[in-house]
Amino acid sequence: MPRKPLVALVGRPNVGKSALFNRLVGERHAVVDEIPGTTRDRLFGEFEWRGALFRVVDTGGIEVYQPKGTRNSAPLAEGSIEFVPQIRAQALLAIEDADAIILVVDGDAGITAADEDVAEILRRTHKPVVIAANKLDHVKRNDSAVEFYGLGLGEVFPISAIHGLGVGDLLDAVYFSLQETVELPETPEVEDHLRIAIVGRPNVGKSSLLNKLLGEERMIVSPVAGTTRDAVDTDILWHGERVTLIDTAGIRRRGRIEPGVEKFSVIRAMNAVERADVVLLLIDGIEGITDQDQHIAGYVMEAGKSIVLIINKWDAVEKDSNTLHEFERALRQKFDFLPDPPILFISALTGQRIHQVLEAAHSAWQWRAFRVPTAELNRIVRDAMQKHTPPVRGTRRLKILYAAQVRTNPPIFLFHVNDPKLVHFTYRRYLENQIRAEFPFEGTPIRLSFRPRGGTKDD
């Protein structure tokens, strides 16, 4: 199946990368600020262009910090100067993993020394590169953009990310540059076999778990955090079915990533989540639940993947008769945004309960592919409306006319209603809970979409 190509937005700080990212994904996901250096971490999103699906990553600026008084110097955001090497390294890894690159420059400022530094890096790649000369929303925009051909890279497009001017031409160039090198997916990917990504913070036992599942020492296991640099795929046969296991490097806490390729594997880990159907999130039973564990789980949900929580090193935890139940209660509380995920307490070192891991992942995968019969779904909706009357806005009440499951992997339910604006988020959640009461979709996010009947808003 064709994968979604990755487009990296790179450039020095404060040229509008985050504004362009927001324009592409259609929401204010990235922080936009006038102070250079605001974006420190990569942000992922998706967009569609000409019927094809793309992933986009917004990187922190690539810049060798210019001291005050030097050419085109600019103050960085408070506390960000020390992060310049990290920002540069993150962007360099994004370039390495990207299928196409958009170099964003400030069209009003002209070419700076930092732009030339970035261009020098990009000239060494063999990836398609286009230049977005941003902040050009005036009549002389084309004249101002011509200067950037001097960087010796790809074609230059004058744009205004804030107002959307010229963005279509820019995306056309990206689309056509990729047509010759990658197969562009026109529909969401559906895998024909189970793919499992093993993710988690560094040193929680991901490689040890993979070794135990494989029955052999295939990955280097070390107590030093960050040993695994890349995402590695391994195919196995489980009960006669093909299963792909994807081991990943640990995902570090924001602001704690240091320069060096071996410590910059977050993009590859996130790519592994993107390619997976089910994600095994490993949590250190000794250290307990951390904010970063919750952050990773949130990303998995945003990606629409099924999830299984794996508490590793359970053999080394001091326990009494209530320890397991108390830990599980804490998990349910801190991960209350997850769709009732399976929870396993294992030891990758001793093999304790290892046999349950693939069983839980396979069960979640089956729920991803499950389709609720239309008649059953509409019965659930009718019962839900009788138990809890739909909300009223002013003099108008929400009417649900018909519902159907239109997709699997992940499951998507389409509701035909009189007016989608009448659907309050609490009623959306109520409808989801009513569906899950009969079809739990364990560990699997489901999406509800509301469409007006015949494209009109009927009373």
Q: What are the pLDDT digits (tens) for 362-418?
A: 999 999 999 999 999 999 999 999 999 888 887 888 999 889 998 888 899 999 999
Does position 50 have pLDDT exceeding 60, yes or no? yes
Task: Please count the helices (runs of H) and the strands (runs of E) in the chain.
Answer: 12, 17
Does position 35 have pLDDT exceeding 90, yes or no? no
Give Cα separations from 344 to 347, 362, 391 (angstroms): 10, 14, 39
Looking at 36-50, 204-218, 355-369, which range is the least confident one?
36-50
| Cα–Cα distance measured from residue 200 to residue 282, given in angstroms and rounded to the nearest whole number | 5
The pLDDT score that the predictor gives to residue 180 is: 64
Does position 61 have pLDDT exceeding 70, yes or no? no
pLDDT (mean) for 89-110: 81
* 186 touches 52 (CB < 8 A): yes
Does position 225 have pLDDT exceeding 90, yes or no? no
Give Cα separations from 315 to 37, 204, 287, 352 (angstroms): 44, 13, 13, 8
* 341 touches 305 (CB < 8 A): no
Structural domain 374-455, CATH architecture: 2-Layer Sandwich (3.30)
Does position 131 have pLDDT exceeding 90, yes or no? yes
Amino acid at 411: P
Instruction: Tell me the pTM.
Output: 0.59
* 289 touches 334 (CB < 8 A): yes
- In the chain, residues under CATH classification 3.30.300.20 are 374-455
Identify the CATH homologous superfamily for domain 6-179.
Answer: P-loop containing nucleotide triphosphate hydrolases (3.40.50.300)
The pLDDT score that the predictor gives to residue 186 is: 54
Give the DSSP letter string of 19-83.
HHHHHHHTS--S---SSTT---S-EEEEEEETTEEEEEEEPPPP-----TTSTT--PPPTT-GGG
| Cα–Cα distance measured from residue 156 to residue 146, given in angstroms and rounded to the nearest whole number | 7
The pLDDT score that the predictor gives to residue 263 is: 34
Nearest CA among 320, 336, 331, 220 for reference residue 284: 331
Q: Provide the CATH topology of domain 194-368.
A: Rossmann fold (3.40.50)
The confidence band for 298, taking pLDDT boundaries of 50, 70 and 90, is confident
Q: Specify the higher pLDDT residue, 90 or 346.
A: 346
Task: Provide the edge-to-edge strand list for the sheet that holds 400-407.
Answer: 400-407, 412-417, 447-452
- In the chain, residues under CATH classification 3.40.50.300 are 6-179, 194-368
Nearest CA among 343, 405, 348, 345 for reference residue 372: 405
**Residues of the chain above pLDDT 70, percent:** 75
Q: Specify the higher pLDDT residue, 456 or 424.
A: 424
Tell me the three state secondary structure of residue 409: coil
- For residue 146, what are the contacts with CB-CB under 8 A and spacing of at least 6? 156
